[in-house]
Structure 1
Amino acid sequence: MSGFTPDTAMELWLQGDASSVPEARGASHLFIEKAGAPWSIIEDDVALVVSELVSNACRHAPGPCRVRLRTTGCETCIVEVWDTSSCLEDVVVRTETMEPDVSLPCGGYGLGIVACLSHEVQVQREQSGKTVQAVLNAPGQP
């Protein structure tokens, strides 16, 4: 298990602009490389979850956003994206139903993708803004 530590973590602050999604996606790949096995098997899933959550943050919340990634041993990879919007309703409904938001002129599928790839998705209102947390299980974990 090269590169593996019991708990590996990363935090990245982003501007919340067009460069944020590719920057976050690239950072997630570096994070998984550092975490090593067993995470390399789901590297693309983690990168897609990060991309979708950061894309939503940039699209629906003004200003910066923060990405936190961490692993808990060989069991879970936790992706957290904080943004400045305190609106929880759409996020909660979207992750529970996994239905696309057809009211949007384009898009609306991201949270459904996140919910499908994740063992669990939670939304937490913060003192300022909100954090969306997606928990991905390691390969072989229920």
Structure 2
Amino acid sequence: MATSVAYDGSPQSIADARAVAREFLTEVQSVHGLPVSARAMGMVQLVVSELVTNACKFAPGPCLLNLEMDQGAVQVTVWDTDPSLPVARAADPGRVGQHGLEIIMAVSQSFEVHREPVGKRIKAAVVLADDPGGDAAGRMP
């Protein structure tokens, strides 16, 4: 199961992308019977929001959101037109804002960045089921 949506890069794209993520996970749950915890619903929307926000803020023009189910996780992929690769910044409790990449990496099972012939593609996987004794992102110790 997968869905893709193109956005024009306007600020409204961010809210629209969160709504698409919510609808996608609702369909995963109701149509396909896969469990989606409240935590997973929130984390997927957070990752989508952060990635689309960065695309709208830093890349001129359109962006593309792709959501795909893969072995119990949602693969969130965002393509944008800016070839600059994001870099996680050092922890700084005094810094206001610009923590999106750190957040995405903390809540995702995996995180990848690829430069494309035009722009870049960022992919993060968010596990759907909760593991009460495990890592919040679903990573193995």
Q: Same fold (TM over 0.5)?
A: yes
Query: Hey, what does 2:108 align to over in structure 1?
Result: 118
1:39 paired with 2:14, answer no
What whole-Å deviation, never above 9, does each CA across 1:55-85 have from its counterpart, x for those lacking one?
A: 0001110000000001114x22100000000
Query: Hey, what does 1:60 align to over in structure 2?
Result: 58
Q: In 2, distance between residues paired with 1:9 and 1:121?
A: 18
1:129 paired with 2:119, answer yes
Residues 32 and 63 (structure 1), Cα distance of their counterparts in 2 relative to 1, 3 Å cut:
same
Q: In 2, distance between residues paired with 1:76 and 1:24?
A: 18
Which one has a larger percent helix, Structure 1 or Structure 2? 1
Q: In 2, distance between residues paired with 1:26 and 1:115?
A: 22
| Root-mean-square deviation (Å) | 1.9
Q: Give the aligned residue type for 1:99.
A: A
What whole-Å deviation, never above 9, does each CA across 1:102-124 have from its counterpart, x for those lacking one?
A: 78xx5201111111110111100
Aligned pairs for 1:1-142 within 5 A = 8-36=1-29, 37-41=34-38, 42-73=40-71, 75-88=72-85, 91=86, 93-94=87-88, 99=91, 107-139=97-129, 140=131, 142=140
Q: Which 4+ runs in 1 deviate beyond 3 A?
A: 97-100
C-alpha deviation, 1:127, in angstroms: 1.0
Q: In 1, distance between residues paired with 2:90 and 2:73?
A: 22
Structure 1 gaps, min length 5 = 1-7
Residues 83 and 130 (structure 1), Cα distance of their counterparts in 2 relative to 1, 3 Å cut:
same
Q: In 1, distance between residues paired with 2:120 and 2:84?
A: 8
Q: TM-score, normalised by structure 2?
A: 0.81
Q: Give the aligned residue type for 2:45.
A: A
Alpha-carbon contact 1:98-1:115 (below 8 Å) kept: no
Q: TM-score, normalised by structure 1?
A: 0.81
What whole-Å deviation, never above 9, does each CA across 1:5-43 have from its counterpart, x for those lacking one?
A: xxx101000010111100000010000001113224411
Q: Give the aligned residue type for 2:91.
A: E
C-alpha deviation, 1:135, in angstroms: 0.9
Structure 2 gaps, min length 5 = 132-137
